[in-house]
Amino acid sequence: MKNYLQDMKRRYLLILFFGLTISLYAPGQSANQLYLIYCTTCHGQNMEGGRATTLIKTKWQHGGSLDSLIKTISNGIPNTQMAKFEGVLTAKQIEDIAAYIRKSQKKTVPGKKP
């Protein structure tokens, strides 16, 4: 019986340890993960576009500044499939994604010369 209890205790500690490790190394979802979950289907895995416009470009229909991007993502674009993400994502997550799109402008679009 004593052995059994000790065994259980050890297992419990092990589970606790791994649980803690995982939660420490996954502090929320990164902008990249959020993009992959919420935006890829229309804007492409590398923002190259697909069902919707590319997100790597210089001529934005609704503005390419951080503020404009936050606005577009938050409010969506009426009469298009671009839904409003306010309420789906937090303000912080939307800002993170907008910043991530801005940062990604330096990447090269596959098949295109930089």
Which lies closer to ligand HEC via its Cβ, residue 19 or residue 28?
A: 28
| 8 Å CB contact between 43 and 55 | yes
Q: Which of 32, 45, 65, 80 binds ligand HEC (CB under 6 A)?
A: 80
Confirm or reject binding of residue 70 to ligand HEC (CB under 6 A): no
Distance, in Å, from the CA atom of 7 to the CA atom of 56, rounded to the nearest integer, reads 55
To the nearest whole angstrom, how small is the minimum distance from the Cβ of residue 28 to ligand HEC? 16
Distance, in Å, from the CA atom of 100 to the CA atom of 95, rounded to the nearest integer, reads 8
Q: Which of 29, 46, 52, 74 binds ligand HEC (CB under 6 A)?
A: 52
Distance, in Å, from the CA atom of 110 to the CA atom of 108, rounded to the nearest integer, reads 6
Confirm or reject binding of residue 97 to ligand HEC (CB under 6 A): yes
